[in-house]
Amino acid sequence: MVVVEIRTPVYDEESGRSGWAVCAMVFADGRRTVSIVDKHGVLDHQLPVVDAVTGRQIHLADDAEAWARNLPGAFRAGDLVAHVLADTNPAEQPPATPTAARPSIPAPPPFTRISGASTTSAA
């Protein structure tokens, strides 16, 4: 099960503090079971998201849990932010460190100084 909160930043002038206001909640369990509470109409159910592991687009109808898990990638501009509150079956993450050998900088070619070079000018 994946639980995602879609929220927006708010500023309380009386207290001088900022915080978050929840705009929508997504509850996804398995490939087809999803419940969306969206009183403000901020979530487009047809919105494709990019799977962080495979790089392919996912729609809600394809896999509800994977779609919900990848909503933070779709809502990252700041006016609306998606945050995964719970994920009972997280997707496999790519390795944190590259497996390739450490890159090296090749040695520069030998430098040959040309001495006695003269310039000519047209008269």
Report residue 84's pLDDT band, with 50, 70 and 90 as the boundaries. Answer: very high
Residue 40 lies in a domain: yes
Confidence grade of residue 91 (pLDDT, cut at 50, 70, 90):
confident
- C-alpha 107, offset from chain centre: 37
Total count of domains within the chain? 1
What pLDDT is attached to residue 122?
54
pLDDT at 94: 56
In a domain, residue 102? The reply is no
In a domain, 92, yes or no: no
Q: Are 33 and 20 in contact (CB under 8 A)?
A: no
Distant-in-sequence, close-in-space partners of 5: CB < 8 Å, separation ≥ 6: 22, 24, 25, 82, 83, 85
Q: Is residue 119 part of a domain?
A: no
Is 96 a residue whose pLDDT tops 60? no
| CA–CA gap between residue 78 and residue 4 (Å, rounded) | 16
Closest Cα partner for 18 from 27, 9, 26? 9
Radius of gyration of the chain measured on its C-alpha atoms: 27
Look at residue 112 in the predicted model and tell me its pLDDT: 66
In a domain, 6, yes or no: yes
In a domain, 116, yes or no: no
Q: Is residue 109 part of a domain?
A: no
> Measured between alpha carbons, how far is 115 from 123 in angstroms, rounded to an integer?
25
Residue 60 pLDDT = 94
Specify the DSSP element, H or E, that contains 27.
strand 17-29
Name the residue range of residue 78's domain: 2-86
In-domain check, residue 52? yes
